Amino acid sequence: MGKILSKEEELERFVKQFNEGPNMRVDQNIVKFCSLDSSENLKQHYEGRKMETGDHAADWIKNLAEKMAALMPAPELAGLGALAIAILIDVISNSPPEKSTEDALRCVFAEEKASEVWDQIDECLKRCTMNFKNKDQLRSDIERIEYKLSEALTKLKNSMVRDGQMTSEALKAWINGAAFHIQMLIHLVRLRGIPDCDPVERLISTYKRDLDLLLKKHREMVEKKCKEEIRFVHPQSPYIHYLVDENSKWHRLPENSRYEDYFEAYYSHRYSSQRREIECYFNEVGENLQSLVRQRGSFNVQ
């Protein structure tokens, strides 16, 4: 006879057949270039692109130096500034789409409902690359775009909460849009477009509340997609119970098991780790806020 498994062991064995759910985390380009290590991450990005140029490194460095001449350490080069310079480096490098920082971000907002959010982020990044040497113009550009991005994020959130248009892709776009919006306000504090961190702190608190609600709606959406199916084989055999997952695939449940327990284990396995990482990101930005706004970014072409 085989070993009789405990309920916990049965659940653990059951969920091993599933991969993690669709990735909804904050994109690594936002995380690394808008972190406390933004300048070091930008330097590593530059060194990586320089190595890829091979025999053309000298011409590439000259071209980049002409555009980045006389950059002194400054607040505008941190955070969004570092992200903008990374994009500019990619453009000058003619980086293929699979390695492009901007293309990676664009893919995050591929969901049709998120197109308005991407339009504002795309415009912000374009203005940051154009005006990172002109603090006053950059501040004016971000102030103008920030309002439009905030409005677009509200519309996207309401489409998921109120209009029943929740998808993992739309939620990912909102999460990344909210993370970018927070970085815009942090950059405005650096550029003295906002006098202090109070508005940023309030925005982070608002987005954390919104995130809780959206994740609840996401669970409800997945729960509606999943269902229990029961099949009858013949009179001498018990009914066979199945969990039909969000991709319409059937998975047999152990005898005498509760569907609700297995759905809970299924959802937790697919999404709980992501939820913790997303919540941790927003918490860490809030905890490091004062250090982030005091950053002075730096970048040297050499």
Give me the pLDDT at residue 186, please.
97
- Residue 69 is predicted with a pLDDT of 67
Percent of all residues in the chain with a pLDDT value above 90, rounded to a whole number: 69
Q: Report the pLDDT value the prediction gives residue 221, as an integer from 0 to 100.
A: 97
**pTM of the predicted structure, to 2 decimals:** 0.93
* 260, pLDDT greater than 50: yes
| Cα gap 265→137, rounded to integer Å | 52
In this predicted structure, the answer to whether residue 2 has a pLDDT above a threshold of 60 is no
pLDDT digits (tens, 9 = 90+) for 118-139: 999 999 999 998 888 888 999 9
Contact 42, 34 (CB under 8 A): no
According to DSSP, the β-strands at 250-252 and 240-244 are: antiparallel
pLDDT at 1: 43
pLDDT tens for 201-254 read: 999 999 999 999 999 999 999 999 999 999 887 766 678 999 999 999 999 999
pLDDT exceeds cutoff 80 at 266: yes
**pLDDT tens digits for range 57-115:** 788 888 888 877 667 778 888 999 999 999 988 888 877 767 789 999 999 999 888 99
> CB neighbours (10 Å) of residue 178?
27
Res 59: pLDDT: 82
* pLDDT of 235: 66
Helices 80-93 & 168-190 angle (0-180, nearest 10): 110
**Average pLDDT of 9-35?**
94
Report the pLDDT value the prediction gives residue 74, as an integer from 0 to 100.
83
